[in-house]
Amino acid sequence: MIKVVYEVVPHDGGWAYRLGGVYSEAFPTHAEALEAARIVADEQQVGGDSAEISWQDENGKWHEEYAEGGDRPETEVVDGLWQNRGAGASQSV
């Protein structure tokens, strides 16, 4: 099973959540970014209809595949504020 990790980090004068190297919009407060990351992680758990999908990888190559609607990744939200304080805390969703 795939695991998707959203990390809440300082970004662009505020806070954002990050997946890989991609940042969300900036939020004014840490609490707002953390809540947004939790919402997105929860939404990853909602199944949908199976469908043919296409997606572009980091090298610009397009891929096509069949995605099962009930095949959902495991998600986790990692709070960068607590990690930066040395607590190393993460919160699974």
pLDDT of residue 12: 94
Report, in angstroms and rounded to the nearest whole number, the Rg of the chain calculated over CA atoms. 15
What's residue 84's pLDDT?
55
Please tell me the distance from the alpha carbon of residue 60 to that of residue 77, in angstroms, as a whole number.
28
**SS3 label, residue 55:** strand
pTM more than 0.75: no
Does residue 68 belong to any structural domain of this protein? yes
DSSP label of 27: B
Within-domain flag for 88: no
**Does 75 fall in a domain?**
yes
Low-confidence stretches of the chain (pLDDT beneath 70): 83-93
Q: Cβ–Cβ contacts within 10 Å for residue 41, how many?
A: 22
* The pLDDT value given to residue 54: 92
Look at residue 67 and tell me if it is in a domain: yes
Answer for the pair 6, 41: CB distance below 8 angstroms, yes or no: yes
Report the domain count for the chain. 1
CA distance 46 to 85: 33
Decide if 41 is inside a domain. yes
